[in-house]
A and B are shown apart, each in its own frame.
Chain A
Amino acid sequence: MESISELVRRLRTLGRSTDMERRMGDEVRFHLEQQTEKNIRAGMAPDEARRAALLRFGGVESVKESVRDEYRHALVEDFWRDLRYGTRVLTRAPGFALVSILTLAMGIGAATAVFSLVEGVLLRPLPFPEPDRIVRLFQLDATGRRMNVSEPNFDDWKARTHGFVSMAETALSASVPVSGGREPIVTSGAAVSREFFDVMGVTPAVGRGFLPEEQRVGAAPVAIISHRFWTARLGGAPLEGQPLRINDELHQVVGVMPEGFAYPTGADFWTPREVAPPQRSRTAHNFQVVARLADDVPLATANGELSAVSRAMKGEHGDATWMADAAAVPLQEQLTANARPTLVALFGAAVLLLVIACLNVSNLQLARIATRRRELALRMAIGAGRGRILRQMLAEAALLSAAATVVGAGLAAAGVRAIVAAQPGSVPRLDSVGVNGTVLAFACGVAALTALALGLATVLRTSQHELRASLAGGPRTMTGDRGRERVRQGLVVAQVAITIVLLTGASLLARSFVRLLEVDPGYRTSDAVVLDLVSPFSRDAAARSRVASFQQELLARLAVLPGVESVGLVNDFPLGGGRYTNGQFLEMTRVDEFKSYEDVGRIGDQAKARAGQAGYRVASAGYFAAMGIPLLRGRLFDDGDGPDAPHVAVISESLAKAKWPDQDPLGRFVQFGNMDGNLRGIRIVGVVADVRELTPEAVPGPLLYLDYRQRPSTQVSVVLASSTPAAVAQTARQAVQQLDPSMPIRIRSIDDALELTLSGRRFSLLLVALFGAAALTLATLGIYGLVSYLVTERTREIGVRMALGAERGDIIRLVAGQGVVLAAAGVVAGLGASLGLTRLVQGLLFGVTATDPVAFAGVAIVTLVVVLAACCGPALRAVRVSPVRALVSE
């Protein structure tokens, strides 16, 4: 009793610290005045009297500080007391504590795991100095679409804008054979123009940058390599005397970039752009442009100027450029644009799950309050204010939430490792993702909010009246406390509603996925092996025809391997690069109309009418059979289409429709010098079916296929159709090695290639489905808990009803009915919320609308069935209530 009365007194004496300061100030002032007056009465002059009083008192500030110490000491003491008390309370109810901690841990773990993705991918600044000043510049075509940049346009931008301190163009080659290290490999490298390293703000960590004399046509080839390449391939050896053979040319390595520098994404080496001659075409969109904003120039200003300059350029060059406008986009935004919608949706889902977890624990706490009513009532009766009770509740919630955070952070760390290991294809910067300080701070913030919400919710729902009443002996009403019951019902309805939102999102993603799998991409999706072969790139015609001869010999050898049904090659595999899209070709009136670019320029006004757009493909005749792409009209390439024969092409159906609607494309001539520099006329000899490139959801694009013997390509994918892909992969590899031991090979099955394009979707679907399932479990537990509680509370009522002759069916309906009504209310609210929220994931959907009725109905039915099942247990327990026992139990 002593400790309680002490507690009560302390509670009354300790106000907030501002009260304490004011009280102290007033008290000291009063004291000094009294002493001063006494001194004056003793005959001192007023000034002297006051001085003497101060002297007598001692240092006012140091006294005040001592008093404050006393006060602070009390606060800390209180806090520890609350925590100790909370721990005792929780250890007395280990089941409740464990369930609460695990539930919260699930929510906090999910939110933390997804946040670590959001932080590493979207929020963390790029690893360059002042990364927010780096922008990507795009040409915009007449429809506002972002495009790469042509060199003359880049040069004009550089000369005519003032909002950027530096501007550089880069051209990334994704598959380049490099030898000189441990073994020949294929990797990515970029040709970069003079100011590239200024834009990025990064200089080589080892060695030096490019010298001016290395940045001109005809200069001896030099390269700067990535730290990754240097350590993994060159063993970190000194650079001198270690030339690298890049694309068949020896390059002297002059520098190594700092660890982690890999822009453009994936680049392992950088070479000076200026060693190749300048490009003159304004429609050869071969460059990506990066720039650094000038100091004090806001992005909007720089953007406005760039746009004005670009529109002026359009006015000057008309049809000679496709650029209608231009835009500067922050580099970070541009790099993460594709991943953003997915990550934001996932984060939303994780937060919803956390909210459900909090609601569930709240509900548990509320149920527990019932058993703690007397304890709390006693404390209130002896004077504990709401604030004091609140602090106690907060301390308990903080304990739960702290424990949950520890468990949750563990879950998150494991989850993040699993996610990074799974390498979902669509997420960039994954290597920078992990549970780090920022993420842990986030987790702690979430935990603090959770604790606050839980504690507040508990206190607000515990009315003083109710507590005072319970001191008198506890309520023994027939149906429990209506107010608290309503709150618990509200919580359950909210849980079901949020679950519906999550499940609706998951089912929309799932239906999109199924729709995607149903799409016929227009080519074989199984039973094939793909070999990626990269020969050194060369502009030399003789070298290129040697590559074609090699490829021809290889195709002949592969065709006769056991198990190979058909074999062919293509320069840009539908599930791969997408390197040669959107080339501009010109229709010719006769096969030899253009002999030079001057001839092309002469057609002037007609240029627009004659131009067409198509992806540039180089293929062998066998490719169409191997990929299962049917010939619709005309013919494929045949033995007559050798290097010296007239050049021929096969076009896709969509190109035929787009360029020659209602006309026959067969027999027409085009030139595609924009893509391969060869102005020679090409006769269209056949039309093949469309394919969906890159992903099955893509719209089939117009394609123009040329014969690989006539327009050799150094990068090809060989497709081998076979019902025994694994065996064929082995023998095919041997066949390549026999023909050229130095050829780097990558072999994959077409299933794997397809899977890679789906992995991003599979990943987000899996996570959202997981969150949805967890939410459904929690909501079901919530309803189960509430119905069970109601059965217990109403045992006596049920007994009476049964004694009066109620049938079992009536009792089951009575008990389960309540759960079902709540679930139905939650379902209705959830469907309403989903209607609004699923629109936010519209961009992630394919083949279904955000309000797909099948998804909505399916989720509603599943939820109702599960909830009904959850209500059955308590309902059956209710009918087993013995009337006699129920009545005696009071």
Chain B
Amino acid sequence: MHGWGITERLEAWSGSVLVLGQGTLYPALYRLERQGLIESEWRTTANNRRARYYALTTAGRRHFTEELAQWRRMSRAINLVLDASLA
């Protein structure tokens, strides 16, 4: 997926809640790539344009899984706390 695609997808999936400056995505992508969590290459798009496509690496996928689990635990904990205190 290329950078613009990622921003589009983020907006769509978040129901337009996450509408950041689109540019802020790129430093993050470069950092992730440096950390070896994603990799990228030039490819042609459906309408024959040259674009940089990003994909998770194995390490990235593992990292993602860990982070996701961590997030789930965290958000669940927060929700439990909130539910308990508001109830």
Is B a genuine binding partner of A? yes
Q: CB within 8 Å of B: which residues of A?
A: 2, 5-6, 9-10, 12-14, 23-24, 26-28, 30-31, 33-35, 38, 56-60, 62-63, 66-67, 69-71, 74
Q: With A30-B4, A30-B52 given, is the CB distance from A66 to B27 under 8 Å? A: yes
Please, how many angstroms separate the alpha-carbon atoms of A27 and B4 in the complex? 9
CB distance from A170 to the nearest CB of B (A): 70
Q: With A28-B26, A56-B21, A58-B22 given, is the CB distance from A9 to B50 under 8 Å? A: no
Q: CB within 8 Å of A: which residues of B?
A: 2-4, 7-8, 21-24, 26-27, 30-31, 33-36, 39-40, 49-52, 57, 59
CB distance from A74 to the nearest CB of B (A): 5
Chain A residues near B33 (CB-CB < 8 A): 13
Q: With A14-B34, A66-B27 given, is the CB distance from A9 to B4 under 8 Å? A: no
Chain A residues near B50 (CB-CB < 8 A): 26, 30
Please, how many angstroms separate the alpha-carbon atoms of A62 and B40 in the complex? 22
When the two chains form their complex, are residues A10 and B23 in contact, meaning their CB atoms are under 8 A apart? no
When the two chains form their complex, are residues A30 and B34 in contact, meaning their CB atoms are under 8 A apart? no
- Which chain B residue lies CB-closest to A66? B27
CB distance from B19 to the nearest CB of A (A): 8
Which single member of B27, B36, B51 contacts A67 (CB below 8 Å)?
A: B27
Q: With A10-B36, A35-B4, A74-B34 given, is the CB distance from A30 to B51 under 8 Å? A: yes
When the two chains form their complex, are residues B21 and A34 in contact, meaning their CB atoms are under 8 A apart? no
- Which chain A residue lies CB-closest to B21? A58
- Which chain B residue lies CB-closest to A58? B21
CB distance from A266 to the nearest CB of B (A): 66
Q: List 15 A-B contacts (CB under 8 A).
A: A9-B59, A10-B34, A13-B39, A27-B51, A27-B52, A28-B23, A30-B4, A30-B51, A33-B49, A34-B4, A38-B8, A60-B23, A66-B26, A66-B27, A70-B27
When the two chains form their complex, are residues A31 and B4 in contact, meaning their CB atoms are under 8 A apart? yes
Chain B residues near A24 (CB-CB < 8 A): 26
Please, how many angstroms separate the alpha-carbon atoms of A74 and B30 in the complex? 11
Enumerate the 5 nearest inter-chain pairs by beta-carbon distance, A residue then B residue, closest first: A58-B21, A63-B23, A66-B27, A58-B23, A9-B36
Chain B residues near A33 (CB-CB < 8 A): 49
Which single member of A6, A59, A62, A69 contacts B36 (CB below 8 Å)?
A: A6
Chain A residues near B34 (CB-CB < 8 A): 10, 13-14, 70-71, 74
Please, how many angstroms separate the alpha-carbon atoms of A862 and B31 in the complex? 63
Chain B residues near A13 (CB-CB < 8 A): 33-34, 36, 39-40
Q: With A66-B27, A67-B30, A74-B34 given, is the CB distance from A30 to B49 under 8 Å? A: yes
CB distance from A539 to the nearest CB of B (A): 88
When the two chains form their complex, are residues A5 and B36 in contact, meaning their CB atoms are under 8 A apart? yes
Please, how many angstroms separate the alpha-carbon atoms of A74 and B33 in the complex? 11
When the two chains form their complex, are residues A70 and B30 in contact, meaning their CB atoms are under 8 A apart? yes
- Which chain A residue lies CB-closest to B27? A66
Q: With A5-B59, A23-B52 given, is the CB distance from A67 to B26 under 8 Å? A: yes
When the two chains form their complex, are residues B36 and A63 in contact, meaning their CB atoms are under 8 A apart? no
When the two chains form their complex, are residues B21 and A9 in contact, meaning their CB atoms are under 8 A apart? no
Please, how many angstroms separate the alpha-carbon atoms of A62 and B49 in the complex? 25
Please, how many angstroms separate the alpha-carbon atoms of A30 and B49 in the complex? 8
When the two chains form their complex, are residues A57 and B23 in contact, meaning their CB atoms are under 8 A apart? yes
